[in-house]
Amino acid sequence: MSRGLHLDAYLLAFDTRAQSLQDRARAGYLVRAAALAELAHRGAAAEDAAGRVRILSAAATGDPVLDALLAELAERPRSWKSWIRRGREDTLEAVEERLAVLGAVTIADRDPYGPVAPNRPVRMDDPREALDLQARVAELVRGDAPVARAPFTDAALAALAAHGHLRLVLSRHDRHAHAERITALTDRLADQAPGLARAVAGLNLTMIAAQGGMGGG
């Protein structure tokens, strides 16, 4: 059962062999986009005629990551793309803290006498959930099961993995060989938020532009 798109996106981006994210900067975009997609899926946020994100419900979600993002969305209307780029590192750290509370990961304590690190090491003692999720999303892209029957969460995660060039899940060959299927999966996002689907489809270009070149993967 999905814990939420934003939490699943983190598991999707986690390299269980290396015991680290495949690419922390890339994961920040993926997790932030997934959190926005989760809010859209819950009916808490949508876009107006100008493509700017509007809050439909400010009620607490029960998830501190989503509640913090809702508070941000209340600041002023922005595009989905703008919200994906803003605050992504804070959201990534909040997702790690949430997963630690849920027992999915363990975050190392900071060394009070050591150098200040940009982030604390994260371990996943039981990798099965992440590996199962990665395999399920990869199979959704490579397989032939009707896209319309796939759970929305899996379709959204597949779109994020593909457009975010998440090599742990999909190779460059996979992305080219199954381009039409990836488009169909991305269209599942468009059913709820067309602007968000377009922002997800341009994720890799957005990341490259913001980071000064991260490699296509």
Rounded CA-CA distance 166/26 in Å is 8
Angle at the Cα of 22 from the Cα atoms of 89 and 157, rounded to 5 degrees: 75
Indicate if the pLDDT at residue 110 is higher than 80: no
Q: Which two tokens stand for residue 74?
A: 């209340």
**pLDDT top residue among 86 and 210:** 86
| Alpha helices in 42-120, H assignment, sequence order | 64-73, 80-85, 88-101
Share of the chain above pLDDT 90, in %: 83
Indicate if the pLDDT at residue 97 is higher than 70: yes
Is 201 in a helix, a strand, or coil?
helix
Domains of the chain: 5-110+118-211 (1.10.3630.10)
pLDDT at 118: 56
Indicate if the pLDDT at residue 197 is higher than 90: yes
